[in-house]
Amino acid sequence: MATIKEKIAYLRGMLDSTDDIGNADKLKVVLHRLMEVLDDLADDVEDLYYGQEELEDYLEAIDADLADLEEYACECQDDDADQDFDDEVEMVEMECPSCQNLICFEEDFLYDEGVEITCPDCGEIVYSSDDFDEDDFEEDEDDDDDGDDNV
């Protein structure tokens, strides 16, 4: 089966090769072929129309399912927040020394060995566990505890 473009090219060839377009028989053949091309185009447009309707229905169903999922996820988060306050993840913000972008990551990464946090924008290392000295951190906490005793 020839494509619509091939059929149109065939019609052009017929018109270009016909010197006497006034000949009723040749004109009738050209018009008949032209009607076949128009029928094919109408069928294709109708198929596209029904395909578009089907896609819209499918998209609406997906949107409704997504809304249900979002509602369920929000309910679960609310339930979890009411039950356990201890499960909240502490976050740390650091500024990239190169691009001054704020990078957020879990505080637990500060205590793991072999961890490097890089800036997602420029790739600069923002934090390396090799540079972190836990003794300095503990001294700062001890100083804070001593200040509380004086109150």
pLDDT of residue 50: 95
Determine contact, residues 53/38, Cβ cutoff 8 Å.
no
pLDDT of residue 139: 52
Q: How far apart are CA 144 and CA 150, in angstroms?
A: 11
pTM above 0.75, yes or no: no
**For residue 78, what pLDDT band results from cuts at 50, 70 and 90?**
low
- Per residue in 19-67, pLDDT (tens digit) is 665 677 777 888 888 898 899 899 999 999 999 999 999 999 999 999 8
48 three-class SS: helix
- Per residue in 87-137, pLDDT (tens digit) is 577 888 888 888 888 888 888 877 778 888 888 888 888 888 777 655 555
* Burial 30-65, CB ≥16 within 10 A → b, else e: eeeeeeebeebeeeeeeeeeeeeeeeeeeeeeeeee
pLDDT of residue 23: 73
